[in-house]
Structure 1
Amino acid sequence: MNKISLSKSSYCNGVQCEKILWLNKYKPEFSAAEINESILENGKKVGELAKRLFGDYEDVPFDKNRFVMKEKTDKLLQEKPNIITEASFIYDNNFCSVDILKNDLDGVEIYEVKSSTKIKDIYIDDIAFQYFILSNLGFNVKKAAIVYINNEYIRGEELEINQLFKIEDVTNIVREKQAEISNNIDFINSFMESHGEDSEPDKELGNYCFDPYSCAFWQYCTRNLPKPNVFDVSGMFTSKKFEKYYEGKISFEDLENEDINKKFLEQIDFELNNREAKIEKNAINDLLDSLKYPLYFIDYETCQYAIPEYEGTKAYQQIPFQYSLHIIKEEGAPLEHKEFLAEFDDENIIRNFAESMIKDMPEDGSVIVYNKGFESGRNRDIGKMYPDLKEEMERINGNMVDFMVPFRNRDYYTKEMKGSYSIKYVLPALYPDEPELDYINLELVHNGGEASNAFLNLKGKEPEEQKRIREALLEYCKLDTYAMVKIWEKFIEVTKG
């Protein structure tokens, strides 16, 4: 058998779904994979920091030629005892780089570093593959362990890496999986040999399309399904979607008489029968009657650091770095706008965010948000970090009104919302002919994920590029709060009469 070259990542892809390997080889142009720079950067930073866990180390630099990395590793292995990072090995056309290798006199220990806060099954497959290669090369692998993030650790003035990282010994589990690893490798090689470029394999859709990772070829593999279909039902559990799919209930026509949640049926009904907008005027009037001037329409943008950057924060804590605020001081008053966008190197980013917000919202008017749980949660975090600001944060939270509620409750629903109450669906549904309200027309930043990535990647950019990105962040966040103003206007319009 002409064996393919398997790495840790390609082996794990094959474990998830062997067709991923075939598509990556023969139809890569259909991949919808997106490069998330902040996730890659987080992973890189975590990996580099973890290398220091056991003291001094020798690193094997990355090289496209795997044999160059192997030869460098072979030389370093002679210097035991030592610590080698990215130690690289090849066995029977299978390749792996071990994140951290403890090279002792009586054997080795292998450590796989993950930027996650918990251990997933696929991580065990990853390190078991490494164990398979090293043990077959004759190494005495004394220990196999996963290094991952402790998100309960609160950073002090200095970062303590031994507190930031958890290390879990998985040696026994890994050893028990060795026969499975061998069988999987044989299966993958046999599969790839029997399916050439003109022999696309049949593979049924399944939960593995999303677990442990969302497959980049989902759109390709579902290209022949009717549109819309069961996978377009908003809010339905993935497992339930597959249950219906396996029953042959795939199109909306197949689903319209099924015994499923009434909100799912409503989305299907509106789509199939092109229903007019559903507007519960009493519910919307109750919301409008609860508002008190001045009206503060506010939206936060946040980012997350795998390695906590600021004293008093945890790994992956939501760090607010920006807000947009539209204000109507009294009935008939003109619309005002205020905003805050932190400098990327601001060490007091959270406090400066909070103090600016308090200054911009001094009165007890209605604080209008879209998804109250998010903004109020950040305010509680601020109150815990800065007890002197807690009373003000509680005041702001006590005045919050959530404009998402009428859409989540389906008091206001149209076909164009496609079952979703995300503002990215709601706004164009309410204002289909106003391009200035369409997030697609924004430059660089179109959603919260892109906003977070843009801010995290400001460091190292040229001043002109930084300016361009900051302007895009301000425009994006401004649209989020202007959108709420427009929703408020629409509420007033549809409840008249």
Structure 2
Amino acid sequence: MIYLTKSRFQISMDCPTKLYYQINSDRYANAKLDDPFLEALAKGGFQVGALARAYYPEGILVNEETNQAALETTKALLERENCTLFEATIQTGPFLVRVDILRKTGNRFELIEVKAKSIHPDTDSFLTNKDKINSHWRSYLTDVAFQELVLKQAFPGVIIDCFLMLADKSKAATVDGLNQKFRIVKENGRYKIKSPEFLTVEELGEKILRKVSVNREIAILQVEQFEFGEEIYSLLSFADQMASDLQKNHKRNIGVGKHCNKCEFQTDEKQFVSGFNECWKEQTGLTDEQLQQPLLFELWRGNLGSKDIISPLINRRDYFLNDFRESDYAPQIIKPTDCFSPTERRTLQIKTTFSRDNAPCYNEEYLTNAFNVFIYPLHFIDFETTALAIPMYAGRKPYEQIAFQFSHHKVEADGKTYHQNQWLNDQVGVFPNFEFVRALKTALETDQGTIFRYHNHENTILNVIFSQLLESNEADKNELCDFIRLITHSKSENHVGKRDMVDLYQLVIGGFYHLSMKGSNSIKSVLPAVIESSNFLKNKYSTACYGTEAIPSLNFKNHTWLLKDDAGKWINPYKRLPAVFEEANSEQLDSLCEENGEELRDGGAAMMAYAKMQFSEMQPDERNFYHNALLKYCELDTLAMVMIYEGWKDYLIHN
């Protein structure tokens, strides 16, 4: 029997059609990374799960590999009057779940779902003001609701209390090195947590995971009615339907919509079927040829807030990018601006896409005015950061930002370029933020040149470190805070530093567009677009000039950045970096670490390499590989910013 498990139930709640594509993975391509180790590494799941279990030293792990063995062990253990089980395996009919923590006390069960997600008890709520399920928490709560449903069917008459166990952002660790007590090791091809056999209350310190009752929310979900494909379901009827579809290997179409936007079941590879294309052909009548045209999902949708501009088009059966009318995305009030407005940028994207105009689109006046106020030498910086679920040090809270690396390129007024500085903390269990900002201060305080970042991330991180410094006992905290205030801004405090960093991303939004960027303004999309439209960059970087006296580098020697592929197209420099993880490409790693909104970090590979160095047992040569890879990845990020600047400057000079 093919069971409806927690993961299968969750994917069907996203889109029932995906369930069919997932269980027929031999035919259908799946771009989503299916690697439990990397996913847990990205989200801190290994450590959070291990810490949660450490809170219950009496707990017994159901560790059998097969479902049948796990079911038999669980059944035998639950015959006891009282017990605490980890990964208890419960099956009833076509449903099967493994419960993170199941506590039995007589006729009462505690069902505890552990999530590597944070909550602040004073500001976060699972319900809206109208007692509706908060959409931000819905997927986590439906996961618990499905487990409760299975448990009730398997044990009629028992009392079940449901909980989420989450990282409590209001709690600080009271012991040092808490995260180092849960190390990742690989045994017989499988990853597991290696921790001391017994961890005392003193070793764990004050609890930083909060067990939150969700009985009220689960009760709402169990009676809630929802619609999929013009059918009305309850949680139980939906689960029954999905289980039936599984057994029959039936594909359930629910109609196309905005949920199709990031469907992972699409590909151009001939050895696999594109589930996305198959689905859209069946439900819209479009042909394979039509589906090669740009679809409406390609439109850049920045600065729209929560406005849904996709559903209205689908409702009128308009599926393509050129079906958009300006009234579909133009705001009611248009504010005057000297750069490309969001409306103009969207119109520009549609126009260039269908004219196939490969010429770069510049707002020359806007960029020229920006360039005229730059102060040389220019500084281009990029940070690599993470937010660990379990703090490194006493006094630190779950998911506090950690800045573990920066790269710094410098450009003189005559165009001379240097990879000037870099800093990387690869020491295990060390809180790096204050040394990070000291090194950054040393790198940037030698002159008053303009500093560039890409998007909001660097400004956000420095403001976080500012707050951490204020609460610290660092001897030089006043000088460090003054430096941070000098180069950052804070909307909440209405503060703008005299040397506030310039956001290169905003210059892209307001002053540059190229056909190849489509709807993306990620630096990994912008860089190849600028290269494609700049003979200056092609001539300069298609020689082995990088890592020489002409362009000094700290990590590369005599390196050629720009090469062509067999088809004569320029290769994106990011594609030429060595893979950090053989199991996944950089896009999949970025997706695992993706934040909400448009904070375009592009740092998935670096974040996960750092996490692996912190929590995995590895040999010196492996550690050295990750160290060098991190340095090269971060160096390319700041070099990419330099290239964009150089390409623009050359264009503005000659046009």
TM-score (norm 2): 0.69
Alignment partner of 1:439 out of 571, 574, 581:
574
**How has the CA–CA distance of structure 1 residues 268 and 241 changed in structure 2, closer, same or farther, with 3 Å as cutoff?**
same
Match of 2:451 in 1: 368
Match of 2:631 in 1: 474
Alignment partner of 1:124 out of 116, 141, 162:
141
Matched, 1:401 2:484: no
Name the Cα RMSD after superposition: 2.7
**How has the CA–CA distance of structure 1 residues 336 and 184 changed in structure 2, closer, same or farther, with 3 Å as cutoff?**
closer
Note if contact 1:281-1:494 (Cα within 8 Å) is conserved in structure 2.
no
Q: Distance in 2 between matches of 1:124 and 1:343?
A: 37
Q: Distance in 1 between matches of 2:384 and 2:160?
A: 46
Name the amino acid aligned to 2:507.
P
Most deviating of 286-295 and 332-341: 332-341
Matched, 1:290 2:373: yes
Deviations 1:228-278 (A, max 9, x none): 110111226794223312322222332366643322221000111134322
Match of 1:230 in 2: 296
Secondary structure of the structure 2 residue equivalent to 1:363: coil
**How has the CA–CA distance of structure 1 residues 81 and 218 changed in structure 2, closer, same or farther, with 3 Å as cutoff?**
same
CA drift of 1:324 comes to 0.9
Secondary structure of the structure 2 residue equivalent to 1:298: strand
Q: Distance in 1 between matches of 2:361 and 2:19?
A: 46
Note if contact 1:114-1:146 (Cα within 8 Å) is conserved in structure 2.
yes
Name the amino acid aligned to 2:527.
L
Secondary structure of the structure 2 residue equivalent to 1:115: strand
Alignment partner of 1:188 out of 237, 242, 251:
242
CA drift of 1:443 comes to 1.0
Match of 2:132 in 1: none
Match of 1:462 in 2: 619
Note if contact 1:53-1:161 (Cα within 8 Å) is conserved in structure 2.
no
**How has the CA–CA distance of structure 1 residues 332 and 264 changed in structure 2, closer, same or farther, with 3 Å as cutoff?**
closer
Note if contact 1:326-1:336 (Cα within 8 Å) is conserved in structure 2.
yes
CA drift of 1:156 comes to 4.2
Secondary structure of the structure 2 residue equivalent to 1:30: coil
Note if contact 1:209-1:218 (Cα within 8 Å) is conserved in structure 2.
no
Gaps of 5+ in 1: none
CA drift of 1:150 comes to 2.0
Matched, 1:425 2:521: no
* Mapping for residues 59-98 of structure 1, pairs under 5 Å: 59-61=61-63, 63-98=64-99
CA drift of 1:133 comes to 2.2
Q: Which has the higher helix share?
A: 1
Matched, 1:328 2:411: yes
* Mapping for residues 353-392 of structure 1, pairs under 5 Å: 353-387=436-470, 388=477, 389-392=480-483
Match of 1:133 in 2: 150
Match of 1:271 in 2: 353
Name the amino acid aligned to 1:33.
K
Deviations 1:367-408 (A, max 9, x none): 432335211221122222224121122233332222222211
* Mapping for residues 27-42 of structure 1, pairs under 5 Å: 27-28=25-26, 29-35=28-34, 37-41=37-41, 42=44
Note if contact 1:293-1:331 (Cα within 8 Å) is conserved in structure 2.
no
* Mapping for residues 47-58 of structure 1, pairs under 5 Å: 47-58=49-60
CA drift of 1:334 comes to 5.2
Matched, 1:166 2:321: no
- Percent of pairs with identical residues: 24
Gaps of 5+ in 2: 120-125, 127-136, 179-203, 224-233, 268-273, 278-287, 331-342, 471-476, 489-496, 533-537, 543-560, 563-571, 581-585, 587-601
Alignment partner of 2:310 out of 230, 234, 241:
241
Deviations 1:297-338 (A, max 9, x none): 111111221222234443233311111111235545553422
Deviations 1:9-64 (A, max 9, x none): 21222333222221122244411121464531311221111123345322211x33
Name the amino acid aligned to 1:217.
F
CA drift of 1:163 comes to 4.4
Q: Distance in 2 between matches of 1:207 and 1:328?
A: 44
CA drift of 1:165 comes to 2.1
CA drift of 1:161 comes to 7.0
Note if contact 1:107-1:141 (Cα within 8 Å) is conserved in structure 2.
yes
Q: Distance in 2 between matches of 1:265 and 1:332?
A: 35
Secondary structure of the structure 1 residue equivalent to 2:608: helix
**How has the CA–CA distance of structure 1 residues 418 and 178 changed in structure 2, closer, same or farther, with 3 Å as cutoff?**
closer
Q: Distance in 2 between matches of 1:176 and 1:493?
A: 61
**How has the CA–CA distance of structure 1 residues 178 and 67 changed in structure 2, closer, same or farther, with 3 Å as cutoff?**
farther
Name the amino acid aligned to 2:86.
T
**How has the CA–CA distance of structure 1 residues 70 and 162 changed in structure 2, closer, same or farther, with 3 Å as cutoff?**
farther
Q: Distance in 1 between matches of 2:623 and 2:413?
A: 37
**How has the CA–CA distance of structure 1 residues 348 and 329 changed in structure 2, closer, same or farther, with 3 Å as cutoff?**
farther
Note if contact 1:371-1:403 (Cα within 8 Å) is conserved in structure 2.
yes
CA drift of 1:104 comes to 0.7
Name the amino acid aligned to 2:39.
I
Secondary structure of the structure 1 residue equivalent to 2:54: coil
Q: Distance in 1 between matches of 2:367 and 2:221?
A: 57
